[in-house]
Amino acid sequence: MTDEPTGGRPQVAVLGGGVMGETLLSALLTAGWAPEQVEVTERYVPRADELAGRYGVRTGASNAEAAARADVVLLAVKPNIVASVLDEVSQALRGGELVVSVAAGLPISSYEKRLPTGQPVVRVMPNTPAVVGKGASAIAPGTHATEGHLVLVETMLAATGLVVRVEEKDLDAVTAISGSGPAYAFYLIDAMAEAGVLLGLSRDLATKLAVATVEGSAALAAQSGDHPAVLRERVSSPGGTTVAAVQVLDAHGVRAGVVAAAEAARNRSRELGQQY
């Protein structure tokens, strides 16, 4: 394939039909790929049949055969089997195909050493809200990836939410903020709901209020463009309820805890990357 996107869509093989594989498949179709331009590999036959029926795409069990027909190979498999999948497909590649991976932790060098010399690789760090089109993905180019390859990946991922470019060295920090970040948000939602129950609300009502509040606050932050501290101050009347609440959060070290959690996630991401 050429490295510049053209009017025609390149043939894509999505290797792995799990949650992230389906998310990528759905994003491609939303971005304008036709079902016949996308192939998904999935060895669990009922799941393969489900994807074929739902999206009208070709499905199969052979990663090598799908890669041989593709211009772009999307790896959506778990990190512990990436090496074996690369060994499967490396001989099937014709040369020049773009390899894109959403597997966490694996450095680009681990792909390049298993693929033919000069193979373009782009690494993606997505997060789970991509499933509902509200994700945050960071993309980093390998040694042989070009501007055209990055533009193509951005086009492919556009329907999953925010897509940003970073250098690979920053992906561990991205993992700590957006990759692991949904867990921090869910943790906060759960804590807010528990507080509501403690204060006498039903669990269902407390959870609905917590979810809607976090969702609405994130939307306001995104749309306003104002610094979060400014938005917080607008909610905080002098001597009011919000000020009292934030003082307690500060006293309990919530901000410091979030920073420490992100540092721990960053460090663990580095450790995992060193295993490959």
Q: Give 6's pLDDT tier (boundaries 50, 70, 90).
A: very low
Give the Cα separation of 179 and 137 in Å (integer).
Answer: 8
Determine what percent of the chain falls in helix, strand and coil, rounding each to the nearest 5. Answer: 60, 15, 30
Are 138 and 170 a contacting pair, CB within 8 Å? yes
Q: Are residues 248 and 133 in the same domain?
A: no
Q: Looking at the structure, do residues 88 and 163 belong to the same domain, yes or no? A: yes
Residue 250 lies in a domain: yes
Residue 7 has pLDDT above 70, yes or no: no
Out of 2-16, 40-54, 104-118, 245-259, least confident range: 2-16
Q: CA-to-CA distance for 116 and 133, rounded, in angstroms? A: 34
Q: Using CA atoms, how far apart are residues 26 and 268, in angstroms rounded to an integer?
A: 31
Asked if the model's pLDDT at residue 8 lies above 90, the reply is no
Residue 275, pLDDT score: 76
Rounded CA separation 139/225 (Å):
23
Same domain, 218 and 253: yes
Q: Which long-range contacts (CB under 8 A, 24 or more apart) does 117-120 make?
A: 118/144, 119/93, 119/144, 120/3, 120/96, 120/144, 120/145, 120/146, 120/149
Quote the DSSP letter at residue 43: S
Tokens of residue 58, six digits = 């070709």
First to last CA, the chain: 29
Regarding whether 216 and 102 lie in a shared domain, the answer is no
Give the pLDDT confidence of 166-220 residue by residue, as tens digits: 999 999 999 999 999 999 999 999 999 999 999 999 999 999 999 999 999 999 9
In a domain, 3, yes or no: no
Which one is predicted more confidently, 124 or 5?
124
User: What is the percentage of the chain residues whose pLDDT exceeds 90?
Assistant: 92
Q: How confident is the model at residue 104 (pLDDT cuts 50, 70, 90)?
A: confident
Quote the number of domains for the chain. Answer: 2
- Residue 220 is assigned to a structural domain of this protein: yes
pLDDT tens-digit readout, 34-47: 999 999 999 999 99
196 in the same domain as 262: yes
Tell me, yes or no, whether 1 lies in a domain: no
pLDDT tens per residue, range 138-161:
999 999 999 999 999 999 999 999
The answer to whether 192 and 206 are in contact (CB under 8 A) is yes
**253 DSSP 8-state letter:** T
Looking at the fold, whether 163 and 183 belong to one and the same domain comes out as: no
> What pLDDT does residue 274 have?
82
Report how far residue 100's alpha carbon sits from residue 81's, in angstroms, rounded to the nearest whole number.
Answer: 15
**How do residues 222-260 score in pLDDT, each as one tens digit?**
999 999 999 999 999 999 999 999 999 999 999 999 999
Residue 41: which CATH number? 3.40.50.720
CA 33 to chain centre: 20
For residues 122 and 202, state if they share a domain.
no
276 has pLDDT over 90 = no
Are residues 199 and 154 part of one domain?
no
Whole-number pLDDT of residue 124:
97
Residue 173 placed within a domain: no
Q: What would the mean pLDDT of 130-136 be, rounded to a whole number?
A: 95
Tens of pLDDT, residues 85-99: 999 999 999 888 999
For residue 4, being part of any structural domain is answered with no
What is the overall mean pLDDT for the chain?
Answer: 94
Q: What is the pLDDT of residue 4?
A: 41
The answer to whether residues 149 and 197 belong to one domain is: no
Please give the sequence-ordered ranges of beta strands (E in DSSP) within 44-196, or none if there are none.
58-60, 72-75, 98-101, 121-125, 135-141, 161-165
20 DSSP assignment:
H
> Is 145 contained in some domain?
yes
Choose one of 167, 187, 220: the last residue of a domain: 167
**Which residue among 144, 167, 190 closes a domain?**
167
- Are 56 and 140 in a shared domain? yes
What is the predicted pLDDT for the residue at 1? 47
**Collapsed DSSP state (helix, strand, coil) of residue 162:** strand
Own/partner pairs, 112-116, CB within 8 angstroms, 24+ separation:
112/142, 112/143, 112/144, 114/83, 114/86, 114/87, 114/90, 115/86, 115/90, 116/90
User: What integer pLDDT is reported at residue 95 of this predicted model?
Assistant: 86
Last residue of a domain, one of 145, 167, 189: 167
Alpha-carbon gap, residue 74 to 18, rounded angstroms: 13
Q: 159 and 187, same structural domain? A: no
Among 100, 116, 197, 192, CA closest to 154: 100
DSSP string, 214-241: HHHHHHHHHHH---HHHHHHHH--TTSH
CATH at residue 266? 1.10.3730.10
| pLDDT of residue 137 exceeding 60 | yes
Domain that holds residue 92: 12-167
